[in-house]
Amino acid sequence: MFEAIYDGVKAPCEVIDELKQQRTKKVSEYPSGHFSVANLDTQLAHYFLKTENFSEARTYLDTALAWATRHDCESLICAGAIIESQLDLRKSRLTLVREERDKFLTQAALTVKQGLRIATECGYSLSHIELRLIRAQIALHRGRPMEALSEIEIAIDVGVQSPGPGGHPHLLAANDPKCKYIWGAAEGYLLFGEALLLKVAQSIGKNEIVGPADAFSAEINKDLVQARKSLERAEQIWRSLRNPNGTDDIHPDGKNACAILKDLANGILTHYPLHPIDMVVRCDDSRPDHESSCGTGEVMSQQKERKLEFVVPSQINPPVQATYAQVFTNCTFLSESTNLQFGDRYTAGQAGSMGPNISTAKLAEELAKLKNELSKRVLTSEEKMAIDNIDAAEKAAQEGDGSAALRFLKAAGKWAFEAATEIGTEVAAAAIKSSLGLPPA
């Protein structure tokens, strides 16, 4: 969930103390100036949310979003949408007042919708996965398992295809070999199991199993088997993500999967509503979010139930091969890319070329090599964000969009430039150098 290097390695309170210490530095001491400060504030909001300190989470999130909004920093705005929707979702779980709960769920749904619009338009695959999974959680709290299953399928197995030239970029699913977002996959398998159990509970009209299994239909028994396998898969992944130097045998975020499996063994299916709750805002739309005509706060009089056949997501049977070291190579810890604007001196030529001497095809090839090398060196969340920007620049170059590639390369910064120079990717180094406005050697 909005993962950072510290997750599962240190307690949230320890991380908060370290981040606060970093926050005391002067802006000029940060590699990316004010962006680094806003980035720290976003991380602090994330970890305060983990400790259930909602007021501090809200304070740091507001500070980060104020800067991000003023500077049109879409990556931080999108990251803020993830935290803000999680904040409202947590609050909805803690209140016993129906009106208050509905208010928090409605606000979370609106925030997710806005975040998905940005993630879709900018091609932020990991944020798109996170937001889809949050939308699935909202659907479960509304007692709508089919909607949850649909969102989970998109998040971890299907993704969203690009409509073509001029449209949004392709959005990868968590299980896509080019993504391998193992945290998202683990959360997706957990929610998939929960959604199937809610579907069963609503089918039999009870939140617990009473009587022998052969008393149920073949479809219900199939759902129960698939739910258990999906939950076990989630538990298996979370165990692979545990801190190898700690005493726990599972990552902290995986304890929920263990609890649900224990409940299931005791016959308890779900704690979600047995009857669907009317939605206040649209939480599902057949069109991409950025194309939806549904305005903010629009009331839905009817909900369309998707009549789809769902199967357990792919790769549920193979054993988990991930090691602790692989986690940091395969996953993004914070946000995808930073779409910074810069001066007119950086211009793009015709499609397929960038500037007078740089081919976007060659640039894409070298950026792939650079990205692979940087993945072996990454130590901090800022360096991981630089890799994300290199990845975004590679995609832009593959599409012949030199202008967009330069914007992402500027956000990647000097660390990426120095590495590109060191490993001999001359075209990539020249492009990054040009984007940063560095003087000739």
Task: Give me the amino acid identity at 201.
Answer: A
Q: Identify the CA nearest to 152 among candidates 44, 308, 27.
A: 308
Q: Is residue 432 over pLDDT 80? A: yes
CA angle, residues 26, 31, 33, in degrees to nearest 5: 55
For residue range 93-150, what is the model confidence (pLDDT) as tens digits?
888 888 888 999 999 999 999 999 999 999 899 999 999 999 999 999 999 999 999 9
DSSP readout, 73-92?
-HHHHHHHHHHHHHHHHHHH
Q: What is the mean pLDDT of the chain?
A: 77
Calculate the CA 359 to chain-centre distance.
32
* For residues 291-318, average pLDDT: 32
- Report which DSSP code applies to 215: G
pLDDT at residue 23, as a whole number:
79
Of the CA atoms within 13 Å of residue 30, those in its CB half-sphere come to 18
Do residues 432 and 409 touch, judged by C-beta distance below 8 A? yes
Give the contacts of 206 (CB within 8 A, at least 6 positions apart): 269, 274
Element (H, E) at 358: strand 358-359
Q: What is the pLDDT of residues 341-353, one digit of tens each?
A: 222 222 223 223 3
Integer Cα distance of 235 and 189 in angstroms: 9
pTM: 0.65
CA distance 61 to 83: 8
What are phi and psi for residue 350, nearest 5 degrees?
Answer: -70, 165
What is the pLDDT at residue 239? 92
- The reported pLDDT for the residue numbered 311 is 35
The pLDDT confidence band at residue 391, using thresholds 50, 70 and 90, is: confident
Range in 29-38, 232-241, 287-296 the model is least confident about = 287-296
Flag whether pLDDT at 7 surpasses 90.
no
Q: Give 339 or 166, the one with higher predicted confidence.
A: 166
Using CB atoms within 10 Å of the CB of residue 319, give its burial: 0 to 12 exposed, 13 to 18 middle, 19+ buried.
exposed
Q: Give residues with Cβ within 8 angstroms of 294, minimum separation 6.
A: 113, 281, 282, 285
* CA angle, 390 then 128 then 346, to 5°: 35
pLDDT digits (tens, 9 = 90+) for 211-253: 666 678 889 999 999 999 999 999 999 999 887 777 888 888 8
Nearest Cα neighbor of 436 from 397, 362, 420 is 420
Cα separation, 238 vs 246, in Å, equals 14
3-class DSSP state of 423: helix
Q: What is the pLDDT of residue 385?
A: 76
